[in-house]
C-alpha cells in the first residue's frame, strides 16, 4: 500500500472551500474523491480538470448509510484511504428564541452526528493508511460565537471538542486529527452578503479583507499532509478577525 498513490476523501468538495481543497490535494499528487449533495455536474467537471485521478461521489451529510457508501466507493476504486477532510456542513441562522427547535437541533445533528458517521465508516481504512489524517473544517464562529448563529456556533464548537477527544483516541493508531477554523472567505455563499455588511466585516479583520478559498485550502493541505507532529490542533485562518 505504501508504494501506491495516497488517497483523500473531501466532503463538500464540489464548491467553495471544498473545491479548493480538492484541487490543492490533487496538485500534491493525491487521488481525491470529492463528494457533492446536489452539484453533480460541477463535481464531475472539477474531477475531469484535476491532474491526478479523481472521483465525484454523492453524499448526504447525516445519513449513516451514505457515509458507509461513499467510503466503500473509494475503497472499491482505489483500495485505500489516507486522508479524510470533513468540509461538508449545514448552516441555519436564527436567534435561539426564533429558530425552530427542530431546525436548531438539525444543525447539530448534521454537522456533528453526520461527521461522526463518516469518521466511524472511514476508521478501518485509515488505520491501514500511510500518514493517515482527519481534518475537520470548523469555523471561528465556533471559537468566538456570533449573534444569530447559536445553532451553527454550537455545532462548530462541538466539532472542536470531538476532534480533540478523537485525537487522543486515535493517537495509538497513528491517525492525526486536527481542526481548521476559517474566518470570512470569498465564496459563492459570502458573495450574497450586502456590500455594507462586507465593509463592516472587513474593518474588523486585521488584514482588512476576506480570505480566499485557496488560502484556506493551503492550510487544510498543511494539516492533512505536512503537519506530521500535530494532532488535536486548532489552526485559525481568519486574517486576524478573532483577535
**Residue 191: exposure state from Cβ atoms within 10 A (0-12, 13-18, ≥19):** exposed
Phi-psi region of 176 (alpha: psi -120 to 50; beta: other; left: phi over 0): beta
152 as an active site residue: the answer is yes
Give alpha helix (H) positions in the chain.
Answer: 16-27, 40-49, 64-78, 101-108, 114-127, 141-144, 150-170, 195-204, 213-221
* 3-state SS assignment for residue 148: coil
> Is 87 in a helix, a strand, or coil?
coil
How many other C-beta atoms can be found within 10 angstroms of the C-beta atom of residue 227? Answer: 17
Within its chain, how far is the Cα of 33 from the centroid?
A: 13
What is the Cα–Cα distance from 32 to 51, expressed in whole angstroms? 10
Catalytic residue, chosen from 36, 152, 184, 229, is 152
- Cα separation, 158 vs 27, in Å, equals 31
Active site residues: 152
Amino acid at each position: 500500500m505504501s508504494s501506491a498513490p495516497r488517497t483523500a476523501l473531501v466532503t463538500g468538495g464540489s464548491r467553495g472551500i471544498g473545491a479548493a481543497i480538492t484541487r490543492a490535494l490533487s496538485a500534491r499528487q493525491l487521488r481525491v474523491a470529492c463528494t457533492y449533495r446536489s452539484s453533480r455536474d460541477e463535481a464531475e467537471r472539477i474531477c475531469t480538470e484535476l491532474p491526478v485521478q479523481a472521483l465525484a461521489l454523492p453524499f448526504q451529510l447525516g445519513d449513516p448509510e451514505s457515509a458507509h457508501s461513499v467510503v466503500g466507493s473509494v475503497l472499491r476504486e482505489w483500495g485505500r484511504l489516507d486522508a479524510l477532510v470533513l468540509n461538508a456542513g449545514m448552516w441555519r441562522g436564527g436567534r435561539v428564541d426564533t429558530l425552530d427547535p427542530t431546525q436548531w437541533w438539525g444543525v447539530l445533528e448534521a454537522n456533528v452526528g453526520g461527521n461522526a458517521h463518516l469518521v466511524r465508516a472511514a476508521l478501518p481504512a485509515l488505520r491501514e493508511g500511510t500518514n493517515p489524517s482527519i481534518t475537520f473544517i470548523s469555523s471561528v464562529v465556533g471559537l468566538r460565537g456570533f449573534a444569530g448563529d447559536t445553532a451553527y456556533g454550537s455545532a462548530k464548537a462541538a466539532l472542536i471538542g470531538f476532534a480533540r477527544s478523537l485525537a487522543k483516541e486515535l493517537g495509538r493508531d497513528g491517525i492525526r486529527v486536527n481542526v481548521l477554523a476559517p474566518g470570512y472567505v470569498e465564496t459563492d455563499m459570502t458573495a450574497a452578503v450586502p456590500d455594507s455588511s462586507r465593509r463592516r466585516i472587513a474593518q474588523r479583520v486585521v488584514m482588512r479583507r476576506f480570505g480566499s478559498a485557496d488560502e484556506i485550502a493551503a492550510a487544510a493541505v498543511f494539516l492533512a499532509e505536512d503537519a506530521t507532529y500535530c494532532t488535536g490542533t486548532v489552526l485559525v485562518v481568519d486574517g486576524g478577525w478573532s483577535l
